[in-house]
Structure 1
Amino acid sequence: MLDESCDSHEHRPVAELLVDLSPLALEKAARLFRALGDEARLSLLVRLAEREACVSEIAESTGEGASTISQRLRLLRGEGLVKRRREGKHLYYSLVDEHIQNLLANAIDHSQEPRRS
Structure 2
Amino acid sequence: MTDKREVCDEFCVSPEAVSQVKSKMLAEVEVGHMAEIFKVLGDKTRISILQALMQKELCVCDISAALEMTPSAVSHQLRVLRQARLVKNRREGKNIYYSIDDAHVAAFFVQALEHVRHG
Query: Could you tell me whether the CA contact under 8 Å between 2:48 and 2:67 is conserved in 1?
Result: no
- Residue of structure 2 equivalent to 1:108: 113
1:39-93 deviation digits (Å, cap 9, x = unpaired): 1101110110111100011111221100000000000000010000000111000
Aligned to 2:16: none
Q: Which residue of 2 aligns with 1:72?
A: 77
CA distance in 2, matches of 1:88, 1:20: 46
Distance in 1 between residues matched to 2:96 and 2:66, nearest whole Å:
16
For residue 51 of structure 1, what is the aligned residue in structure 2?
56
Alpha-carbon RMSD: 1.8
**Mapped partners of 1:60, 1:92: distance in 2:** 14
Query: Could you say which structure has the larger radius of gyration?
Result: 2
Identical counterparts, % of pairs: 35
| Among 85, 89, 92, the residue aligned to 2:90 | 85
Q: How does 1:32-43 map to 2 (within 5 A)?
A: 32-43=37-48
Does the residue aligned with 2:96 lie in a helix, a strand or coil? strand
Q: Please tell me the residue identity of whatever aligns with 1:66.
A: P
Cα offset for 1:20?
A: 5.8
Query: 3-state DSSP class of the match of 2:88?
Result: strand
Letter in 2 for 1:73: L
Question: For the residues of structure 2 that align with 1:20 and 1:85, how far apart are their CA atoms?
Answer: 37
Which residue does the alignment assign to 1:31?
36
TM-score by length of 2: 0.78
* DSSP-derived class of the 1:92 partner: strand
Aligned counterpart, 2:66: 61
Distance 2:53 2:66 in 1: 12
Count of equivalent residues: 99
